[in-house]
Structure 1
Amino acid sequence: MQKLLISVVAIIALVAGVVIFNSLPKPQPQALVYDPPRELNPFILEGHTGAQLTNADLTGQWTFLFTGYTSCPDICPTTMADLRKALPQLASLAERPVRVWMISVDPKRDTIKKLADYNTYFGSEFMGVRADHQQLYPFVNGLGLMYSIPAADETDYLVNHSSAIVLVNPDGERHAIFKASHQPGELPTVDMDQMIRDFQLIIQQYD
């Protein structure tokens, strides 16, 4: 009888523990996660390999996309270096490949060769992407990002652009956006440690 009572108490304690655990708030990503994920409008862009890129090239992998340009003096090379450092950890969390698209917002100066030289320096997982403004602007805007277009006669200029990073899931959908932190006296860049933690939570929820 005593053994039966102990067993019943143990079962009750186990059930109570499960109920309490399930009622506890689950960790949530700090990134803006789209629920449900949002489809991307059809696009045609150029990769730094010279190949044409379409929506199909974003499927079957996790892709981190951000706007930049090869003449950028600060945010772009910093973000690229940070992503290269974070990529092994990001890749270890996912069963699918993890890639980075650097979307050039300076098509006037960023040729295929320039993008190839720039991106291959950071690794084979990096793809430089370009298009004329007519195709580029709607694509960037559809990601929830922005950039400025310089006057046609300007030759030495800076391009203002978003410093956030967009995550596209293996279905080719916009899944999340990691916003940059803005600290006085510092470059507005994405916190890579937080992005890694968020990515792990996003993958768990996606799977």
Structure 2
Amino acid sequence: MQKLLVSVVAIIALVAGVVIFNSLPKPQPQALVYNPPRALEPFMLEGHNGSQLTNADLTGQWTLLFTGYTSCPDICPTTMADLRKIMPQLTSFTERDVRVWMISVDPKRDTLQKLADYNTYFGKEFMGVRAEHKNLYPFVNGLGLMYSIPSEGETDYLVNHSSAIVLVNPDGERHAIFKASHEAGQLPTVDMEQLVQDFQLITQQYN
């Protein structure tokens, strides 16, 4: 009788523990997560390997998209180096491939060859992407990002652009956006440690 009572108490304690655990608030990503994820408008861009990229090229993988350009003096190379550094962690959280698209916002100067040289330096997961402004601007704007277009005739210029990173899920949908922090005297860059934590949570919750 005593053994039965102990067993019943143990079962009750286990059930109570499960109920309490399930009622606890679950960790949530700090990134802006779209619920439901948002479809991307049809697009056609160029990959640095000469391929034509469409919506289908964003399916079946997790893709991090950000705007940049090869002549960028600070934010772009910093972001690329940081993403290369955390790539092993990101790939450990999912069985799907993880890719990075650097979307050039300087089509005037960024040829496919320049993009190929720039992106392949960081690794096989990195793809340089370009298009002329008529196709590029709607795509970038649709991601919730922005960039400036230099005046006609300018040759030596900087391009102002968003520092945020957009996450596209394996269904090719805009799933989340990792915003950059803005601190006085510091480059507006994404917190990569937080991105890693958020990516793990997002991939765990993804169906």
TM-score by length of 2: 0.99
Cα distance, 1:152 vs. partner? Answer: 1.1
Matches within 5 A, 1:14-163: 14-163=14-163
Specify the alignment match of 1:179 in structure 2. 179
Counterpart of 2:99, as a letter, is: R
Question: Displacement of 1:177 after TM fit?
Answer: 0.3
Q: Which amino acid aligns with 1:185?
A: G
SS in 2 for 1:118: helix
Q: Distance in 2 between matches of 1:163 and 1:69?
A: 12
Give the drift of 1:43: 0.1
Q: Which residue of 2 aligns with 1:7?
A: 7
Alpha-carbon distance, 1:202 to partner: 0.2
Secondary structure (helix, strand or coil) at the match of 1:20 reads helix
C-alpha separation in 1, matches of 2:127 and 2:105: 14
Q: What is the letter of the counterpart of residue 204 of structure 1?
A: Q
CA displacement at 1:92 relative to structure 2? 1.2
The letter of the residue matching 2:74 is D
Q: Any gaps of 5 or more consecutive residues in structure 1?
A: none
Measure how far apart 1:171 and its partner are: 0.6
Residue 53 of structure 1 deviates from its aligned partner by 0.4
Question: Quick check: 1:198 aligned with 2:176?
Answer: no
Q: Aligned Cα RMSD in Å?
A: 0.7
Distance between the aligned counterparts of 2:87 and 2:18, measured in 1? 36
- Indicate the SS of the match to 1:30: coil
Percent sequence identity is 85
Paired amino acid for 2:36: P
What do the CA deviations read for 1:161-185 (whole angstroms, capped 9, x no partner)?
0000000001100000000111111
Q: Whole-Å Cα distance in 1 between the matches of residues 13 and 89 of structure 2?
A: 38
SS of equivalent to 2:183: coil
- Aligned residue identity for 1:76: C
Q: 1: distance between equivalents of 2:124 and 2:79? A: 16
- Within 2, Cα distance between the matches of 1:152 and 1:205? 47
**Deviation for aligned residue 1:93:** 1.0
How far has the Cα of 1:64 moved from its partner? Answer: 0.3
CA distance in 1, matches of 2:160, 2:97: 30
Q: How many equivalent pairs are there? A: 207
Give the AA of the match of 1:75.
I
Deviation of 1:122 after TM superposition, in Å, equals: 0.7
Measure, in 2, the Cα distance between the counterparts of 1:22 and 1:86.
Answer: 31
SS in structure 2 at match of 1:122: coil
How far apart in 1 are the matches of 2:14 and 2:86? 39
**Gaps (5+ residues) in structure 2?**
none
Output the CA distance in 2 between the equivalents of 1:136 and 1:187. Answer: 25
